[in-house]
Structure 1
Amino acid sequence: MQNQNFVGPKGWRQYFFMLALDFLFVVLPPALFFTVLAEWTYICAGCMMLLLVVIVALGRILPSRSHYMRTGADSSTAIRRLISSYRVSVMIVTCLCILGVDFRIFPRRYAKTETYGTSLMDLGVGSFVLANSLVSRQARQGTTLKYKSSLQAITPLILLGFARLVFTKGVDYQVHVGEYGVHWNFFFTLAAVSLLTSIFNIHPRYCGFLGSFILSAYQICLLFGLNEYLTSRERNMNLFSQNKEGIISLFGYWGMYLIGVNLGYYLFFGKNSRKADMNSVQTVQLRVMFFSITFWLLTMLLDKYVENVSRRMCNLAYVTLVLAQNFQVLAILMLSDVLRSNLLVLEGAFDQNLLAAFLLANILTGLINLTIDTLFVSSAMALGVLLLYSMSLTFLVGCAKFLGMKLKFW
């Protein structure tokens, strides 16, 4: 659907009809599996994986079913489309969870952990940073914005961060201080990561080494007492102490971002990934699977012998967990590519305004929490509100795409 033009009265009808279909088949299933069908999630996921394996096996037996063999599509274009699908899937799950967690029908095992541990929502922040690093300007072109240009680019993020701070303080919105601190929030983290990357401007070929060094040094500091400082409830009156979690965890997120830049360049945008043939697609698939398995093994070793996974500190085990999980999702999407050849209308809409969609989801979530007491509504009403929220988000993001609006600044 990516290359299809929707012009005139019939065009907008067709566009929003396809958008509605995409909502039913892409957004509605995870909304149900995260809530009322949570106990069936693993069974359904297993059945879908089994079906996918059967389809992929048939595609190997009957090569004519392959999109690349059938259309001769450029492999780099196809791979980048798959990355877009992956980034959109991460965003949709994140948007569903930030509201779903406020209701009792959302299983507590999916909610963020306090200090150590893993859950579905623990992956959200890291996945967003990694998904953007894989397709960043630095990964694609080998360059970053100049210092002044970078300051201009992150200004909207800083403004969003202060806007969120003013809003939460003004309406006394519940914020867990242990996540980022008293004043810090996710938008400040994004801005700081972007600024640090532009200051230390190095070729993506070497970003992996720098990222690994930063993460290793940071992990050593955590083991020698920094983790105790971060997890303590004591806060002095200075801004650093009040926002210690958000500021210090920047080392983890920055290291993760740099590794993502290096992997994005190596897998998708470097010279070795530009051959437009079927073999290069299969090579990328195998590499993505290899990295997923490798990072899963590293996560298990680090979690057992170094330090447990901690999103709050963004330690080394958390970074490898995010890498493992995201590359696993990307590998599954690559295997499933035999099912379709173009971006869905929904994917194209979210991909064009990814961060703006996240901001809109946060605004809608805040308005809903100010309107109703989410912890005491019935399961039926909770599901209804969640579906209305996801429909509104889909429709508004779709309208922005249809009208040609593009708000992309990170």
Structure 2
Amino acid sequence: MDSEYKARKEAFVSNLSGSSIQDINLVALVASTAVLLWSALQSRLSYFTPYGPAGLLTDFILNVLGILFATTAYSSAPLLLNIFLVTPAVLLFLTQPALRSTQKAKPPRKQNSKNAFSQDSSESLPIHPFLTTYRAAMMIVTCVAILAVDFPIFPRRFGKVENWGTSLMDLGVGSFVFSAGVVSARSVIKGRASGSPKAALVPRLVGSVRHSVPLLVLGLIRLWSVKGLDYAEHVTEYGVHWNFFFTLGFLPPFVELFDSLAALIPAYEALALGIMVLYQVILESTELKSYILISPRGPDLLSKNREGIFSFLGYLAIFLAGRGIGTRIIPRGTASKSPQQARKSVLISLGLQVIFWSTLFFFNSYYAFGYGANILVSRRLANMPYVLWVAAFNSAQLLLFCLIETVFFPTVYRMTGKEGEEERTSFATSRILHAFNRGGLAVFLIANLLTGAVNLSIPTLDVNTPQAMVILVVYSAILTGVALGMDKANIKLRL
């Protein structure tokens, strides 16, 4: 890469200040309103069943291009795009009856022993379309942003901030980790449901390291490719050598270490709070904050990679917060409740999580009537306000997707047991979103490869708006095709 152009590229993504949380929320809301319209079309018109070319194109326009346009062409008017999506959804909901009649729910099965929770794990771990939708939407936003950020059409306010502030891409990184924490709760629930004692720490650590190796290898490959190809890089993002794959790769063993404390502190949210409070106290009471942000880089690996190494504590807290929510919303919950009561409990639990994390964030990040700490958000530090912001946002996203499913597809949660579950959940889940969720890791890798290929072959800084949109639409279509192809071939590579 030409040295002058490389310097321009690095300057293009450096020293950014971000945007307001309200602005970010309006842009991110497009993912939810797109799913709202998809759900209205499916539940009222059965538009995506059978899944023909028209259904595929509409699905792609709503759930992929909707997000792309929200971050590019409609970035200055996200509210207008949301109105365009919500209006027909509301009209369909009010004027068209649901096509599928609600089946009468079976009464909850009686449990006559203290082992009520130790039911078959397949019964306690249902398929949740709203969770699939949440994970896939997050993946699409991430994949779109990592290439779009290299084009002028992608507003600089959405790029990762330098030190202090909030942006869409800052939120995306944390959301990626949070969503991984949510689905990791499945293994915890299965272990509890089996009734067998937890394995010793050492075997669990060995297993977690095996899970980490592929991610660490990917981190090394990315490091080699960036250095070897003289690719433009933003050093203050994670450091000289560190990258996001290393953060993901080191999470499993550390999660296992902290999971051993679950017997003493059963709530993962409490573990997350403990880590973030301790980390924030150290940042405020020592020289660590200035060391990370402004100290000259020394020759040692710690100094060269201090952002990635110390911010890992924040991402660990985010992962544990996600796991805490996962343990509450993933189980079927019908052992002692009716399906309606179980779904109501999930909605209440998510609502309380939103209130809990949002309140903590408010008092941590603002003066809040004279009682707040007024600590600025920093993705570079992954400090306490950043962790709280990510947890609050993702809890709200889960609540929105769960509400949409509850309103438009009641048969998904009103039926107990596995019988007919695949048919019900398939009807309530976008084919594209299902594919993105199922092949998440592979799609993310291909997105990174395509991003590198585009940047090495095209001077993205000098591309005009129509050309940029064509490139981004084609890129999005390729990723969608890969995801659908992997899904059809029954290849599953989730994070």
- Please say which of residues 17-26 and 317-326 is displaced more in the overlay: 17-26
Q: What percentage of residue pairs aligned between the two structures are identical?
A: 34
* Matched residue, 1:407: 493
* Equivalenced residues, count: 394
* Matched residue, 1:298: 360
* Matched residue, 2:59: 22
Q: Is the 2:126–2:332 contact (alpha carbons within 8 Å) kept by the matching residues of 1? A: no
Q: Is the 2:282–2:288 contact (alpha carbons within 8 Å) kept by the matching residues of 1? A: yes
SS in 1 for 2:76: helix
* Matched residue, 2:220: 162
* Matched residue, 2:408: 339
Residues 184, 68 of structure 1: alpha-carbon distance in 2 compared, 3 angstrom cutoff: farther
- Structure 2: any 5+ residue segments left out of the alignment? 1-37, 39-49, 109-122, 192-197, 367-372, 410-426
Aligned counterpart in structure 1 of residue 290 of structure 2, from 215, 228, 241: 228
User: Does residue 243 of the first structure (1) align with residue 312 of the second (2)?
Assistant: no
- TM, length-normalised to structure 2: 0.73
Residues 352, 45 of structure 1: alpha-carbon distance in 2 compared, 3 angstrom cutoff: same
* Matched residue, 1:7: none
* Matched residue, 1:329: 397
Q: Is the 2:160–2:167 contact (alpha carbons within 8 Å) kept by the matching residues of 1? A: yes
Residues 111, 14 of structure 1: alpha-carbon distance in 2 compared, 3 angstrom cutoff: same
Aligned counterpart in structure 2 of residue 364 of structure 1, from 450, 458, 461: 450
Residues 270, 277 of structure 1: alpha-carbon distance in 2 compared, 3 angstrom cutoff: closer
Task: Give the counterpart letter for 2:68 in structure 1.
Answer: A
User: Does residue 207 of the first structure (1) align with residue 265 of the second (2)?
Assistant: no
CA separation in 2, counterparts of 1:363 and 1:200? Answer: 34
* Matched residue, 1:285: 347
SS in 2 for 1:38: coil
* Matched residue, 1:83: 131
Residues 122, 68 of structure 1: alpha-carbon distance in 2 compared, 3 angstrom cutoff: farther
Task: Give the counterpart letter for 1:207 in structure 2.
Answer: Y
- TM, length-normalised to structure 1: 0.87
**1:21-40 superposed Cα distances (whole Å, 9 cap, x missing partner):** 32122111121121112222
* Matched residue, 2:230: 172
SS in 1 for 2:168: coil
Q: Is the 2:166–2:378 contact (alpha carbons within 8 Å) kept by the matching residues of 1? A: yes
* Matched residue, 2:21: none
User: Does residue 192 of the first structure (1) align with residue 250 of the second (2)?
Assistant: yes
Q: In proportion to residue count, which structure has more helix?
A: 1
* Matched residue, 2:26: none
* Deviation of the 1:327 alpha carbon: 1.4
- Please say which of residues 181-190 and 142-151 is displaced more in the overlay: 142-151
Task: Give the counterpart letter for 1:223 in structure 2.
Answer: E
* Matched residue, 1:386: 472
Task: Give the counterpart letter for 1:261 in structure 2.
Answer: R
* Deviation of the 1:375 alpha carbon: 0.7
Residues 150, 295 of structure 1: alpha-carbon distance in 2 compared, 3 angstrom cutoff: same
SS in 2 for 1:269: coil
Q: Is the 2:125–2:332 contact (alpha carbons within 8 Å) kept by the matching residues of 1? A: no
CA separation in 2, counterparts of 1:249 and 1:66? Answer: 49
* Matched residue, 1:355: 441
- Please say which of residues 347-356 and 162-171 is displaced more in the overlay: 347-356
CA separation in 1, counterparts of 2:135 and 2:299? Answer: 39
CA separation in 1, counterparts of 2:101 and 2:385? Answer: 37
Residues 66, 245 of structure 1: alpha-carbon distance in 2 compared, 3 angstrom cutoff: farther
Task: Give the counterpart letter for 1:141 in structure 2.
Answer: K
- Structure with greater Cα Rg: 2
CA separation in 2, counterparts of 1:283 and 1:194? Answer: 29
- Please say which of residues 292-301 and 43-52 is displaced more in the overlay: 43-52
User: Does residue 44 of the first structure (1) align with residue 70 of the second (2)?
Assistant: no
- Please say which of residues 94-103 and 268-277 is displaced more in the overlay: 268-277
Residues 310, 397 of structure 1: alpha-carbon distance in 2 compared, 3 angstrom cutoff: same
State the structure with bigger RCO (CA 8 A, min sep 6), 1 or 2.
Answer: 1
* Deviation of the 1:209 alpha carbon: 2.4
* Deviation of the 1:406 alpha carbon: 2.2
Q: Is the 2:363–2:374 contact (alpha carbons within 8 Å) kept by the matching residues of 1? A: yes
- Please say which of residues 323-332 and 119-128 is displaced more in the overlay: 323-332
Q: Is the 2:247–2:308 contact (alpha carbons within 8 Å) kept by the matching residues of 1? A: yes
* Deviation of the 1:127 alpha carbon: 0.3
Q: Is the 1:352–1:401 contact (alpha carbons within 8 Å) kept by the matching residues of 2? A: yes
CA separation in 1, counterparts of 2:131 and 2:376? Answer: 29
